[in-house]
Amino acid sequence: MKLWELIPDTVKTISVIGMAKNAGKTVTLNRLLSESQKSGNWVGLTSIGRDGELEDVVTGTEKPGVEVVPGMIVATTDVCMARSDARMEILETTNERTPMGNVVILKVRQKGMVEIAGPDSNRGIQRVCLRMLTLGAEKVLVDGALDRKSSASPAVTEATILSTGAVVDRDLSNVVKETAHQAMLLELPGWNHPLFQKRPDTTMDQWLQQGSGAGIMRKEGQVESLPITTALSSGKEIGRLLKKGDTGLLIRGSLTEKTVKDLMAVTDLYRELPLVIEDATRIFIGEREWRIFRKMGLRVNLMKRNRLLFVTANPWSPGGWRFDEMRFLEALKHEIKSVPVVNVMGKEESF
């Protein structure tokens, strides 16, 4: 089985995000591009931030470039286009401006390596993805940049591929725990409140547009916006405003460990209702703390869900250490049962 065959026909936009730099994300991307070509599918390619450079600009280590072939559509900046050795035709110049130049949409005419630097905002990536689909791409792959898992937001792409590897930690068990944790966050359930299920986009979009950092779904079925701009330092204030019978605590923006700890310090009512977050990319809570919070009764639901397609594993680290391939793969598969886990550095049969 090939990676490309794990992507449903109905899914048109896919983000590839890494647990860390050099976790095998670019290898995964290149394999997908190669398999898409062999399958006769033409894809679009862009990045949130910068990728595709032959030397990692953060670590200084060599990294695989992104190889494209004739027919593929690429969105990158004019500066990066000049640095790429693939021959490409400009299809469209966008209004998306980045520190690396203006984003242009190109069609590959001759095989070669490209450096990718796409829009650095979710809205920009979404607009560029839609344009590439309009211009002929059957699917679009979005290469997530360092610590920018926001490219996996359902507001940007429909589905996500998660790349992990030995670079995350020298201890195999720690890598497995953190990877399983991130996969679990991406697969958290949606909110099943009757009002939300009946008209989810209208209900949540109206509340999000109000700009409040948090809101409470009261037992009467109305969302009360709280007088705060962000939940990051307002956990105690939010907790004091909860009432018996409330059916949901809505958090706009990030959910952090501090917010949860402050909330728990002033009320036990959090056990009676879910914390509802915009999407899984807004959650910044480590694996150990998450386990503790869950034991204390914390429940988290999502307003909008993405779809985790599969996890790729890279047993090699540029730091010089490696894991036993089969042990690493089996450990990941033991903890992540909902989606396939693939050794991206091995043979296609190692699923």
In a domain, 238, yes or no: yes
User: What is the DSSP code string of 174-198?
Assistant: HHHHHHHHHHHHHTPPBP--HHHHH
Q: Which residue has the tokens 């940007």?
A: 156
My answer on whether 284 and 160 are in the same domain is: no
My answer on whether 20 and 102 are in the same domain is: yes
My answer on whether 222 and 149 are in the same domain is: no
My answer on whether 257 and 108 are in the same domain is: no
My answer on whether 216 and 129 are in the same domain is: no
C-alpha 63/C-alpha 320 separation (Å) is: 14
- Give how many domains the chain has, as a whole number: 2
**172/26: higher pLDDT:** 172
- Provide the 10 A C-beta neighbour count for residue 146: 17
Q: What is the pLDDT of residue 243?
A: 95
My answer on whether 64 and 162 are in the same domain is: yes
pLDDT tens, residue by residue, 28-69: 999 999 999 888 888 999 988 665 444 454 444 444 578 899
My answer on whether 160 and 272 are in the same domain is: no
pLDDT tens, residue by residue, 311-347: 999 999 988 899 999 999 999 999 999 999 999 887 5
In a domain, 251, yes or no: yes
My answer on whether 147 and 236 are in the same domain is: no
My answer on whether 61 and 137 are in the same domain is: yes
What is the residue range of 293's domain?
A: 194-302
In a domain, 348, yes or no: no
For residue 272 the two structure tokens come to: 């009676």
In a domain, 351, yes or no: no
Which CATH number is 245's domain given? 3.40.140
Amino acid code (one letter) for 189: P
My answer on whether 65 and 210 are in the same domain is: no
SS3 167: helix
Q: What is the mean pLDDT of the segment spanning 142-169?
A: 82
In a domain, 48, yes or no: yes
In a domain, 350, yes or no: no
My answer on whether 131 and 179 are in the same domain is: yes
Which CATH number is 42's domain given? 3.40.50
In a domain, 23, yes or no: yes
In a domain, 114, yes or no: yes
My answer on whether 37 and 173 are in the same domain is: yes
Q: According to DSSP H, which parts of the chain are helical?
A: 25-38, 78-83, 122-134, 172-186, 194-198, 200-208, 235-241, 257-266, 287-295, 325-335
pLDDT tens, residue by residue, 75-128: 999 999 998 999 999 999 999 988 889 999 999 999 999 998 888 888 899 999
C-alpha 232/C-alpha 256 separation (Å) is: 7
